C-alpha cells in the first residue's frame, strides 16, 4: 500500500475519535480516521447507559436508530437493597438513554464521514513516527501490508488499552486502585424495569458496582466492575457477577445471550494529554468519569475540542506543544473539576462499609431533596445518623 | 539469572473474550491484542500479575 498524507490523522473510530474527526473536518482540515477493526462499533464493549444533557453541545441528534430506551431515572441500591431514586427533577443531567452502542458509534462515524473525513477500516497504527522530536504520523498496517501515514497532527483515540499514548511518551499508566475489571452479560427473560438504570453497591462488588441497564422489556445489560486493588485471584469479576445474579431471582432465571468484558480507568485526570504534533483524547486520555465509569460523554465533549484544535494548528502551521496548551486548557475547563471531584468521591465510596452505605441510603428514604448534591445528601444523613457524617468531614 | 514464572494466556477463545483488559492494565505495555489473538513479550514481562487480576474471565495463568 502507498504511503498516505493528511492534515489530521485520528487513530480509533470510537465516539471520541469520530467526534474529533468530524470537528477537525468541519473546521476545514483534511482528515483521515483509521480503525483497526473491520466494523466500527463492533464488538460492543460497553454498559450502554449514557446521560443526555451534553448531546446538543457536540452536535449529536438523538435517533431511534441507536436509542433502545429513554429512562426516567436511576436507582442506587444499598447492600440491604433499599434504594435511592435519582430522577430528572433532582439530578437533571445524569439520566438519559440506554443505547445500541454499535449503532451509536456508526452514526458518529457517518457524521464524521459526511463532514469530509476519509475512513480506513482494518488499519492499525503499529508505531509512532517522529521527526526532530515532533510526532509526524504513524506506521500503519492494513490487511497485512505496512505503510506510513504522514500527518501534521496525530490524534490518539485508541481507547482504554491505548498503545499510542504510551508511544507518544504520555503518562497513561494507572494505579491498581484506579482501574476496574468489568464483565457484563446481556440477559433476556429478566424482570427489569425499563424506567430505570439500576446500580447496586457494597461488598458484593468491591470498589465498583453492579449495573442493570434495560434494553427493552425483559432484556437488560447486567454487569459488574470490580476495583483491581481489591481483586486477589483469577476471574473474580465473573465470580462476583455470577454470585450476584444467583442471589437475585429477577435475573437468575434469565438467559445470557452475550458476554462483554473490559478494563475501565477510574483515575484522576492525566497531567498531560498532548505533545508536539500529538493530541490524546477519550478513554485513551483517562477521561472516563471515575465515579460512574462512563466515558462516552467526556470523550465526545473533549473530542470536539480536540478536533477543533487540531484543525486550527493545521491552519496556523503551529502543531506544537505550546499551541496545544490551548487544548489542555479548554478540555480541562469543561471537564477537569468534575473528574477530580468524582475521583475523590470514588475513593471515599470504595472505603465505605456496607453498614455505612445502608445508613446513607436509609437516611434519604422519604426525604424530599430539591437537588441531589453531595452537600444535600450529607445534610440529610447528618439529621438521622450524625455519627456517619464524621466519615465525610472532607466533603462538608 | 532467576528464571521467570510461566505465564500463559489462553486466547484460543475457550475462556478469552478478547476484551483487551489485560492490554490496558499492563504497566509495561507488553501485552498485545491482534483481532483474535493475545500475545505478550516474554522478555519484557516481569510477571507482576496485574493482567491476571484484570482478566474478568480467568484466561491468564501464572505459576
Contact yes or no for B55 and A181 at CB 8 A = yes
A122 at B interface, C-beta within 8 A: no
The three three-digit cell numbers of residue B1, written as one number: 539469572
Higher per-residue pLDDT: A203 or A394: A203
* pLDDT of A33 over the 60 cut: yes
Q: Which pLDDT does position A94 carry in this prediction?
A: 63
* pLDDT of B2 over the 80 cut: no
Q: How far apart are CA A73 and CA A174, in angstroms?
A: 32
The domain ranges of chain A are 4-65+100-174+270-340, 176-265, 352-395
Q: Which pLDDT does position A93 carry in this prediction?
A: 60
Please state, for a pLDDT cut of 70, what percent of chain A lies above it: 99
Contacts B35 to A, Cβ<8 Å: 36-37
Contact yes or no for A181 and B21 at CB 8 A = yes
Q: How far apart are CA A380 and CA A362, in angstroms?
A: 10
Measured at the CA of B33, the angle between CA A146 and CA A176, to 5 degrees, comes to: 135
Lowest mean pLDDT among A21-25, A233-237, A354-358, A360-364: A360-364
Q: How far apart are CA A51 and CA A124, in angstroms?
A: 31
Average confidence (pLDDT) over A104-126: 97
A183 at B interface, C-beta within 8 A: yes
Contact yes or no for A45 and B20 at CB 8 A = yes
Q: What is the pLDDT of residues A338-360, one digit of tens each?
A: 999 999 999 998 999 999 999 99
Q: What is the pLDDT of residues A135-165, one digit of tens each?
A: 999 999 998 899 999 999 999 999 998 999 9
- Of residues A263, A282, A267, the one with CA closest to residue A164: A282
Q: Which pLDDT does position A364 carry in this prediction?
A: 87
* pLDDT of B56 over the 60 cut: yes
Contact A260, A237 (CB under 8 A): no
* pLDDT of A302 over the 90 cut: yes
Set out the domains of chain B in order of their start, with CATH numbers.
7-62 (3.30.70.20)
Contact yes or no for A235 and B53 at CB 8 A = no
Binned at pLDDT 50, 70 and 90, residue A373 comes out as confident
Lowest mean pLDDT among A31-40, A175-184, A234-243, A357-366: A357-366
Lowest mean pLDDT among A40-44, A211-215, A368-372, B50-54: A368-372
A44 at B interface, C-beta within 8 A: no
B41, B53, B63, best to mutate vs chain A, most A CBs in 10 Å? B53
* pLDDT of B1 over the 70 cut: no
Higher per-residue pLDDT: A370 or A281: A281
List the 265-304 stretch of A: residues with Cβ below 8 A of B.
265
- Neighbouring CB atoms inside 10 A of A217's CB total 12
Q: What is the SS3 assignment for chain A? A: CCCEEEEEEEECCCHHHHHHHHHHHHCCCCEEEECCCCCCCCCCCCCCEEECCCCHHHCCCCCCCCEEEECCEEEEECCCCCEEEEEHHHHHHHCEEEECHHHHHHHHHHHHHHCCCEEECCEEEEEEEEECCEEEEEEEEECCEEEEEEEEEEEECCCCCCCHHHHCCCCCCCCHHHEEEEEEEEEECCCCCCCEEEEECCCCCCCCEEEEEEEECCEEEEEEEEEHHHCCCCCHHHHHHHHHHHCCHHHHCCEEEEEEEEEEECCCCCCCCEECCEEECHHHHCCCCCCCCCCHHHHHHHHHHHHHHHHHHHHHCCCCCCCCHHHHHHHHHHHHHHHHHHHHHHHHHHHCCHHHHHHHHHHCCCCCCCCCCHHHHHHHHHHHCHHHHHHHHHHC
Say which residues have a Cβ less than 8 Å from residue A325's Cβ, sequence separation at least 6.
A274
A142 at B interface, C-beta within 8 A: no
Contact yes or no for B56 and A176 at CB 8 A = no
Contacts B57 to A, Cβ<8 Å: 183, 235, 237-238, 261
Q: Which CATH number fits domain A4-65+100-174+270-340: 3.40.190.10, 3.30.1360.20, 3.50.50.60, 3.90.950.20?
A: 3.50.50.60
Q: Which pLDDT does position A92 carry in this prediction?
A: 61
Average confidence (pLDDT) over A21-39: 97
Intrachain domains A4-65+100-174+270-340 and A176-265 with the same fold:
no
Q: Which pLDDT does position A280 carry in this prediction?
A: 98
Q: What is the pLDDT of residues B35-45, one digit of tens each?
A: 778 999 989 99
Contacts B19 to A, Cβ<8 Å: 45, 260-263
- How many beta-carbon contacts under 8 Å exist across A and B? 79
Is domain A176-265 given the CATH code 3.30.410.40 in the classification? no
Binned at pLDDT 50, 70 and 90, residue A394 comes out as confident
Amino acid at each position: 500500500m502507498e504511503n498516505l498524507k493528511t492534515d489530521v490523522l485520528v487513530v480509533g473510530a470510537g465516539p471520541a475519535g469520530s467526534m474529533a474527526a468530524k470537528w477537525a473536518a468541519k473546521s476545514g482540515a483534511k482528515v483521515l480516521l483509521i480503525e483497526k477493526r473491520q466494523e466500527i462499533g463492533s464488538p460492543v464493549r460497553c454498559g450502554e447507559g449514557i446521560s443526555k444533557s451534553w448531546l446538543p453541545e457536540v452536535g449529536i441528534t438523538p435517533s431511534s436508530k441507536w436509542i433502545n430506551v429513554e429512562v426516567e431515572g436511576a436507582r442506587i441500591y444499598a447492600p440491604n437493597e433499599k434504594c435511592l431514586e435519582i430522577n430528572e427533577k433532582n439530578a437533571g443531567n445524569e439520566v438519559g438513554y440506554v443505547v445500541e452502542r454499535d449503532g451509536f458509534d456508526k452514526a458518529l462515524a457517518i457524521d464524521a464521514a459526511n463532514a469530509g473525513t476519509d475512513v480506513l477500516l482494518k488499519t492499525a497504527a503499529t508505531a509512532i513516527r517522529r521527526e526532530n522530536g515532533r510526532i509526524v504520523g504513524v506506521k500503519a498496517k492494513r490487511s497485512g501490508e505496512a505503510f506510513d501515514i504522514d500527518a501534521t497532527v496525530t490524534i490518539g483515540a485508541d481507547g482504554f488499552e491505548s498503545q499510542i499514548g504510551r508511544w507518544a511518551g504520555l503518562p497513561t499508566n494507572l494505579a491498581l486502585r484506579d482501574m476496574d475489571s468489568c464483565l457484563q452479560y446481556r440477559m433476556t427473560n429478566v424482570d427489569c424495569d425499563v424506567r430505570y438504570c439500576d446500580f447496586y453497591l457494597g461488598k458484593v462488588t468491591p470498589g465498583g458496582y453492579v449495573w442493570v441497564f434495560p434494553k427493552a422489556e425483559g432484556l437488560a445489560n447486567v454487569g459488574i466492575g470490580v476495583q483491581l486493588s481489591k481483586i486477589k485471584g483469577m476471574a473474580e469479576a465473573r465470580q462476583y457477577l455470577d454470585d450476584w445474579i444467583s442471589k437475585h431471582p429477577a435475573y437468575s432465571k434469565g438467559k445470557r445471550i452475550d458476554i462483554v468484558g473490559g478494563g475501565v480507568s477510574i483515575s484522576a485526570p492525566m497531567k498531560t494529554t498532548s505533545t508536539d504534533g500529538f493530541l490524546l483524547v477519550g478513554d485513551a486520555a483517562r477521561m472516563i468519569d471515575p465515579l460512574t465509569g462512563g466515558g462516552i460523554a467526556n470523550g465526545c465533549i473533549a473530542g470536539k475540542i480536540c478536533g477543533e484544535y487540531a484543525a486550527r494548528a493545521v491552519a496556523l502551521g503551529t502543531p506544537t506543544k505550546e499551541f496545544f496548551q490551548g487544548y489542555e486548557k479548554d478540555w480541562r475547563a469543561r471537564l477537569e473539576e468534575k473528574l477530580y471531584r468524582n475521583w475523590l468521591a470514588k475513593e471515599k465510596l470504595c472505603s465505605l462499609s456496607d453498614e455505612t452505605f445502608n445508613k446513607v441510603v436509609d437516611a434519604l428514604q422519604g426525604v424530599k431533596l430539591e437537588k441531589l448534591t453531595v452537600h444535600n445528601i450529607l445534610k440529610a444523613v447528618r439529621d438521622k445518623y450524625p455519627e456517619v457524617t464524621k466519615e465525610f468531614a472532607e466533603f462538608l | 539469572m532467576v528464571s521467570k514464572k510461566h505465564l500463559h494466556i489462553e486466547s484460543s477463545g475457550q475462556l478469552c473474550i478478547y476484551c483487551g483488559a489485560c492490554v490496558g492494565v499492563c504497566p509495561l505495555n507488553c501485552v498485545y491484542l491482534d483481532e483474535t489473538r493475545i500475545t505478550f513479550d516474554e522478555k519484557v514481562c516481569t510477571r507482576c500479575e496485574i493482567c491476571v487480576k484484570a482478566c474478568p474471565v480467568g484466561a491468564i495463568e501464572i505459576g
